[in-house]
Amino acid sequence: MNALLADLVRQFELERLEVNLFRGESRDIGAPQVFGGQVLGQALMAAYATVETHDVHSLHAYFLRRGDFNAPIVYHVDRARDGHSFDSRRVVAIQHGEQIFNMSASFQVREPGLDHQSPMPEVPPPEALHDRGRPPSAVLARLPEKLRLLYEMERPFEFRAVGPEDYLRECDLPPVQHVWLRTVGKLPDDDRLHRCLLAYVSDYNLLNTSVRPHGTECAAGELVIASIDHAMWFHRPPRIDDWLLYSTDSPSASGARGFARGTLHARDGTLIASTAQEGLIRVSKPPG
């Protein structure tokens, strides 16, 4: 397995401290705080460790404080309900004695039912697109140092964007994105791991959809972006090591907050999951 991917998988092998208490490690991915998707995925894995036969079908989470990637995160799971068809869990993430995150998740036993879905957007296949994580060298040279280092870091995921990319925020774009994504290598046939990694990667490319119509305005000042909440619905079993199309749009931005929603389709058009997120988008003008 690719070394970066293997390290990511290890982050989801939580240490069990007590019956409902778990500890996870963090990684520096180039941001000033723990990546929100990591906390989301680890919290889901902690909840899964207290569930026997059910699959997660929805989660709703709030990011309360910045996480410190130099310190472990402790996850406390509250077993709110164990039922025949549904289990409910509440997870609180704690660091340095304070809550940094909380999440409610619902799990359901697999059963047949009505079945329909929205169609996948018509976009080029991933093979026809370039890796989004690698801007052209001429563009990299013009980026601020922190942003340039972020793009230069190797990642355990591939991202291939459909349509124009404005890394320098020199133009305003529609509040819509389509990005193909997958892990850089194959993973074990562990449905729980695939769902937790899907939660992890769903925090990429979502909130920044709200910024796209304001590229030139944001370029004129210091931009602060931070997730406030995250919701996710799992419709069908995922394979995160095969191409998924993440389609996002942002219906609104106001009051220093942006709202975005997304769908994840498998390559064959199967709708795998839906997401929604609101986050802080604050533009502070430079002095002068």
| Amino acid present at 11 | Q
For the stretch 208-250, pLDDT in tens is 999 999 988 887 778 889 999 999 999 999 999 999 999 999 9
Q: What percent of the chain has pLDDT over 90?
A: 78
Task: Catalytic residue, from 177, 203, 241, 247: name it.
Answer: 203
- Residue 288, pLDDT above cutoff 60: no
pLDDT of residue 257: 97
Task: Say how far apart CA 210 and CA 204 lie, in whole Å.
Answer: 13
Whether 149 has a pLDDT exceeding 70, the answer reads no
- Check pLDDT > 90 for residue 18: yes
CATH code reported for the domain at 3-110+127-284: 2.40.160.210
Distance CA 254, CA 261 (A): 15
DSSP secondary-structure letter at 131? B
pLDDT at 215: 86
The answer to whether 267 touches 243, Cβ cutoff 8 Å, is yes
pLDDT, one tens digit per residue, over 90-139 is 999 999 999 999 999 999 999 999 999 999 999 999 999 988 666 777 77
Whether 177 is catalytic: no
pLDDT at 174 (0 to 100)? 94
Task: Name the β-bridge partners of 159.
Answer: 181
Residue corresponding to tokens 């709030």 = 62
Assigned token pair, 229: 């909440």
Write down the domain spans for the chain: 3-110+127-284
At 238, is the secondary structure helix, strand, or coil?
coil
Both structure tokens of 69: 């990637």
Which of 11, 177, 227, 250 is an active site residue? Answer: 227
Q: Which helix (H) or strand (E) holds 44?
A: helix 36-48
pLDDT mean over 78-88: 97
Q: What is the pLDDT of residue 223?
A: 84
Cβ(279)–Cβ(253) below 8 Å: no
Is 287's pLDDT higher than 60? no
pLDDT number for residue 19: 97
Q: Give yes or no: 277 in active site.
A: yes
The beta strands (E) that lie in the chain are given as 15-18, 21-24, 55-63, 73-82, 86-95, 98-108, 157-162, 176-183, 222-227, 229-234, 244-254, 257-266, 271-284
38 as an active site residue: the answer is: no
Residue 31: the pLDDT is 76
- Tokens encoding 232: 């996710």
Please, are residues 201 and 253 in contact by the beta-carbon 8 Å criterion?
Answer: no
In angstroms, rounded to a whole number, what is the distance separating the alpha carbons of residues 224 and 281?
A: 6
pLDDT tens digits, residue range 161-209? Answer: 998 777 777 789 999 999 999 999 999 999 999 999 999 999 999 999 9
Helix (H, G, I), strand (E, B) or coil at 148: helix
In tens, the pLDDT along 244-271 reads 999 999 999 999 999 999 999 999 999 9
Q: If you ran DSSP here, which 8-state letter would residue 267 be given?
A: T
> Could you report the per-residue pLDDT of 23-46, keeping only the tens digit for each?
999 988 777 789 999 999 999 999
Distance CA 129, CA 70 (A): 36
